[in-house]
Amino acid sequence: MADPQEQQPQPLKPRDQQGRDKTKLQIIIVLSLSVSFLSGYTAAYRYHRLERKRTQDLLKAKITRPVTPKSAGLPQGPTIIISSQPVGPPPALDIEKAKTAVDTKSLLPRHILFTCVNYRAKEVFLAGEFNSWSPIKMNKEKPGTWRAGIEITPGTYRYHYLVEGKKTPDQYNPRREGNSSILIIEPLK
């Protein structure tokens, strides 16, 4: 005899019933994702609209006292002072002074990158009139390539590399004077 506590297996659903259940589940998932997306989009839209309105209200108001970020509903940070009163006209430009002024931009130092290629060297230095012939150690970037970058004001300078203590002109600069190369830095225009 069969045991009454033993559960009997449930009859299998027909194939078309299983397909309908699967379709219903897919529809429920798509609808729930759509609702989640739309609610997030709506919240973001409302937040940005509120922030825009708050900013416009602050700009329209005639506020002459300092506004702290906390009182304006803004994130914490430095104090913001908003005033509707004009600061005043810019100072007048003296045309005569401007005509006689020296263009200081043309005299600004420029960053010059020196490159020496020597595969046998263990160390390389750069010396020139721009640094009173005080040797500057060059950095080895990759095998055989040595580089040094320095700030130099416009002018004409002699320089050379010290490779293993021997004066060597720059092999990529055709302007030479003895064992030194000539560097010409033109002012900016």
The answer for residues whose C-beta is within 8 angstroms of residue 129's C-beta and 6 or more apart is 157, 158, 159
Cβ atoms of 180 and 158 within 8 Å: the answer is yes
Q: Is residue 179 part of a domain?
A: yes
Q: Is residue 70 part of a domain?
A: yes
Residues 123 and 50 reside in one and the same domain: no
Residues 110 and 45 reside in one and the same domain: no
Q: In angstroms, rounded to a whole number, what is the distance separating the alpha carbons of residues 110 and 74?
A: 43
Question: Which residue is it, tokens 């998932």?
Answer: 29
Report strand pairing: 124-128 vs 136-137: antiparallel
Q: Which CATH number do you get for residue 147? A: 2.60.40.10
- Which residue segment(s) compose the domain that 173 sits in? 104-185
Domains held by the chain: number: 2
pLDDT per residue, tens digit, the chain (189 aa), is 555 556 666 655 666 666 777 788 888 888 888 878 777 778 777 777 777 777 666 666 544 444 454 555 545 544 444 444 444 554 454 555 545 545 666 677 888 899 999 999 999 999 999 999 999 999 999 888 999 999 988 889 999 999 988 999 998 889 998 889 999 888 776
Q: Is residue 146 part of a domain?
A: yes
Residues 79 and 120 reside in one and the same domain: no
The full DSSP string for 83-104 is --S---PPPPP-HHHHHH---G
Residues 113 and 176 reside in one and the same domain: yes
HSE-CB at 145 with a 13 A cutoff on CA atoms is: 5
